Amino acid sequence: MGPGGLYHSCKQLRVSHLQWTAAVPGTGLHTWDRFSKLPYPGDKAFLYDTFPEKFMWAVGTAAYSVEGAWEKDGKGKSIWDTFTRSGTRVSRGDVGSDSYHNIPGDLRALQQLGVSHYRFSLSWPRIFSNGTKESYNEKGVEYYKSLIRGLKEIKVQPVVTLYHWDLPESLQTLFGGWSNSVMVELFREYADFCFKTFGSDVKFWITIDNPFVVAWHGYGTGVVAPGIKNDSDLPFRVGHNLLKAHAAAWHLYDNQYRSSQGGQVSMALASHWIKPSRTRQENKKACQCSLDFVLGWFARPLFVDGDYPPCMKRNLTHRLPSFTEAESLYVNGTADFFALSHGPALSFQLINDSLRFGQTEDLGLRMLLYWVGAEYNNPPIFVVESGWYGSGNTKTKDAKHMYYLKRFIMETLKAIRFDRVNVIGYTAWSLLDGYEWYREYGIRRGLFYVDFNTPDLKREPKTSATFYSKLIEKNGFPQLPENRPTQGVFPCDFAWGVAANSIQVDTIPTQFADPSVYIWNVSGNGELKKVPGVLVPPMHRRHHCADYSSILQQVSDVHRMQVSHFHFSLNWSSITPTGRVSDANETLLKYYHCFVSELQKVNVTPVVTLWHHTGKLSSLPAPMEVGGGWQSAETVQAFADYARLCFQRLGAHVKLWITLNEPNDEDLEYTVGHQLLRAHALAWHVYDTEFRKAQGGKASLVLHMDWVEPAFSFNREDVEPANRVLDFRVGWFAEPIFGSGDYPAVMRTWLQQRNNIDLFNYHLPAFSDEDRLLVKGTYDFFAISHFTTSMVYDGVEDKYTFKDKLQVQLISDVTWIMSPRRNSPVVPWGLRKALNWVNSRYKGVPIYVMANGVQEDIARFKDSLRIYYLYNYINEALKAYMLDGVNLKGYFAYAFSDQRDPGYGMYGHVQEEVISKSSLAHYKNIIHHNGFPAPGSPQQHCPHAPVHGSRRYVLTKQPVVGFLSLVSSCMLITVCLVIYYAVKRHKIATKK
């Protein structure tokens, strides 16, 4: 047997072995089922852990994006040099980031990041100006040698891409570029030179970057160079040639260079991720097909069987080129690792609707990694491109890019730790801002900002660069003590409550309101049937609180929660419709009185709000609204009179009063806020001087206080925007009452500066000496409602979430668990920070969390998100109490019922039936243990609250009540008649 025959036989053996170990085609189909069954929301929580010890941290660039020097030192034209000079394009990559002239600057940037690997591409026309070895360009080669020497000096390993989209223009002109099979040998020749010239210092080679974009968009849609379109079959012929060119380069390296250089070779394959639009099996198969058309197009020939995915073959039939048996053997197995590219170069940008197959595109890198592992027999995966982008106007504060980078890295970590995917490295894209292909300079993807308007194209690290360098230093996200749940209990007198915006009001005493007579169908279905035309005679008796079935139902439901407190709001406009207490609705007042007294009978302390701010919907009495609303001094005085009435009629049963609930709406005018402060103060003084001694209660107001975190805090200046927002949102009402008696100095200074530029008129009222004395100190406790956390920084990235008045950009960390409510992520540690902010400003003040909850689908009675939310937020509250010394007095879960607060309740409803959600049992368990005691710790002994009275609520429907009333009446009449006739007979008998 000759050398050629022996070689062929060995190749057959090698390929056969790879086929034997390859995954069963389509194995990745179970990915969607697997991830749909993972525990929610726990699986979505952030993972604090580190990467494997020898994990490769990299950053990357592409030659055309960053090198510049497009026609200098003998470089030939590329197809991008031509493409950007035609059509409607307005800018070119002629200069890019000018890396060609700034190797030292690039090396300094790499050193700052602390990466272990740097992925860059060689420019084919810079090495061979016309694409062939006869046009060898020594200066171009020397540039790359200098770069590789520099990398070696700083101990950064190169990951070298042979072809990143910049084909020599002469090859496109002469041969039609990749549409011609002659490119296979030309690419092999170019690869041979690169392996020979640079290979002794390169251990990772990428032959071709993102062949899908090259074929589909370079030769199909025309979106990228060379911009060819209108031949729907051409992309598939191009893809065929790209695969064969890659295979030729791989075999060349395997045969001639691997033994001496010890490197590895692969092809960088890019993909999106996609989710089924429905849960049916055909939708999952459509997702599989979508991935096969983008990723599987190239991955299956390389990693499975040397042929295209069945989905492509079914859909394209004769349009898809076919491999001969020899070509399949030649292509299959020509990848030493799976080089995966993920990010905006493809996702949501270059995936046509037709390639989604009616399904929904998503950014799930973790699921994509799992799918690749399942579909291709868990190969070692090197993520060779990942990240996001900022707008072209973004400078060094690129918060959005930073948090997407954090998300993708965290998803990679989960794939390694939870899913056992063999990921060996991660490449952030890109090192520098540069020319972004068809997006030109409209976006920025660099970790380093490049000022394109300066002669030297100055580089500055962005916040994303600082983040990435710190992450590399720690090798991931190591668990910190503050991230772990704590163990312990709250004090014995801790107030456990539940909150509702309002209660159900039905002022008809329903138990004795139905005079109808019913017959009980005992032999049939057991239902009650009304007897037409028959009514029970009217019963003359006084109504009692127990007559209101709506009260009994609600009080019974509150009692079952095992809370000690119930917080709800009165309706001012219903109690005094005209705004005058002389016109008070006595029926409604009696109803509220019954409600609070019945709560007290079951040892639940009522917490009552006088006025609940409802945003743009007015909740003032109509005449007050017409008369100027809160701008009017009459409304302020009317509120004090209304407060006096409520204290008078309900105060015997209410020990915690809230004057105003969440008045600190940032959309309110400052003059309105000023009047609200006066109204609160007047009401507080009424209680303090007229009712406190007799009733022994306390009063304050509730401020809405979602936490505001600096988007990054790498220096002191980064914290200032968050402090400004907190002063405007919370300090606006808190400082006049709990602090100095005036608005925060930050507010006055900032608004004065804004007004000075003659574009705004933000009038912040001044406190007179009288008002200052009136408002300051009008509190017995500090109460907040807290739901979520947002981040801010003083940049402009998204005009829709930019707050012009405060000159801050709002943003969310995309690794946070998102609730169904827009812009309301689940961030438990935000509550602890909010409590500490209050405590640091107003040392030792008693604090109540008066509302804390999350919205969830009302149909989900197994409300796992709410369970997670309550556990973690209450645990953070415990940390604030135990570890930080916050004087926390109580916690109120929001909300009581979906009926009054849709989506927030721990009670749901199906028609008239009340359903206890799963979260209710979990909340009761926390209350029962008074927190989170350590296993094995002695039980906390607390004195039991005095029992005011016991009442067993028998909740019945009206027909049953009517029937029982009728039976009772009939029995009474029967007894009376029996006695009457018995006595009468006795008298007659005596006379005889």
> What is the tens place of the pLDDT at every residue in 296-332?
999 999 999 999 999 999 999 999 999 999 999 999 9
- What per-residue confidence (pLDDT) applies to 950? 43
pLDDT band at 10 (very low <50, low <70, confident <90, very high): very low
Distance (Å, whole) CA 826 – CA 932:
20
pLDDT band at 614 (very low <50, low <70, confident <90, very high): confident
Q: At 740, is the secondary structure helix, strand, or coil?
A: coil
- pLDDT tops 70 at residue 983: no
Distance (Å, whole) CA 991 – CA 988:
5
Q: Which stretches of 434-490 are DSSP H helices?
A: 463-474
> What is the tens place of the pLDDT at every residue in 344-373?
766 667 778 889 999 999 999 999 999 999
Distance (Å, whole) CA 227 – CA 177:
11
- What per-residue confidence (pLDDT) applies to 510? 61
Average model confidence (pLDDT) for the chain?
90
- What per-residue confidence (pLDDT) applies to 799? 84
- What per-residue confidence (pLDDT) applies to 985? 60
How much is the average pLDDT of 115-124? 98
Residue 774 near residue 681 (C-beta atoms within 8 A): yes
pTM of the model: 0.89
pLDDT band at 687 (very low <50, low <70, confident <90, very high): very high
How much is the average pLDDT of 824-829? 97
- pLDDT tops 50 at residue 16: no
Q: Could you say which DSSP state residue 544 is in?
A: -
How much is the average pLDDT of 221-228? 95
Tell me the HSE value of 699 on the side-chain side, using a 13 A CA sphere: 28
Distance (Å, whole) CA 207 – CA 196:
14
pLDDT band at 942 (very low <50, low <70, confident <90, very high): confident
Tokens of residue 488, six digits = 């312990």
Phi, psi (deg, nearest 5) at residue 806: -100, -5
- pLDDT tops 60 at residue 421: yes
Cis amide prior to 276 (ω within 30 degrees): no
Beta strands in 692-829 (DSSP E): 698-704, 707-710, 782-785, 789-793, 802-803, 808-811, 817-818, 825-826
- pLDDT tops 80 at residue 635: yes
The CATH superfamily label for domain 27-479 reads Glycosidases (3.20.20.80)
> What is the tens place of the pLDDT at every residue in 572-607?
999 999 999 999 999 999 999 999 999 999 999 999
Q: Which helix or strand (DSSP H or E) is residue 333 part of? A: none
Give the position of tokens 């989209």. 165
- What per-residue confidence (pLDDT) applies to 4? 36
Q: Could you say which DSSP state residue 934 is in?
A: P
Which of 477-481, 509-513, 660-664, 752-756 shows the lowest mean pLDDT across its residues? Answer: 509-513
Distance (Å, whole) CA 583 – CA 591:
16
The more confident residue out of 734 and 544 is 734
3-state DSSP of 813-864: CCCCEECCCCCCEECCHHHHHHHHHHHHHCCCCCEEEEEECCCCCCCCCCCH
Tokens of residue 627, six digits = 């008369």
CB-based contacts of 527: which residues, under 8 Å, 6+ apart? 521
Distance (Å, whole) CA 326 – CA 226:
31
How much is the average pLDDT of 931-935? 96
Tokens of residue 580, six digits = 């005058």
Distance (Å, whole) CA 379 – CA 367:
15
pLDDT band at 953 (very low <50, low <70, confident <90, very high): very low
- pLDDT tops 80 at residue 743: yes
Tokens of residue 368, six digits = 């994509």
> What is the tens place of the pLDDT at every residue in 443-490?
999 999 999 999 999 999 999 999 999 999 999 999 998 889 999 999
* AA letter at 801: T
- pLDDT tops 80 at residue 959: no
- What per-residue confidence (pLDDT) applies to 973? 64
pLDDT band at 612 (very low <50, low <70, confident <90, very high): very high
pLDDT band at 969 (very low <50, low <70, confident <90, very high): low
- What per-residue confidence (pLDDT) applies to 227? 96
Q: Could you say which DSSP state residue 933 is in?
A: P
Distance (Å, whole) CA 342 – CA 403:
16
Residue 990 near residue 984 (C-beta atoms within 8 A): no
Give the position of tokens 């973690």. 872
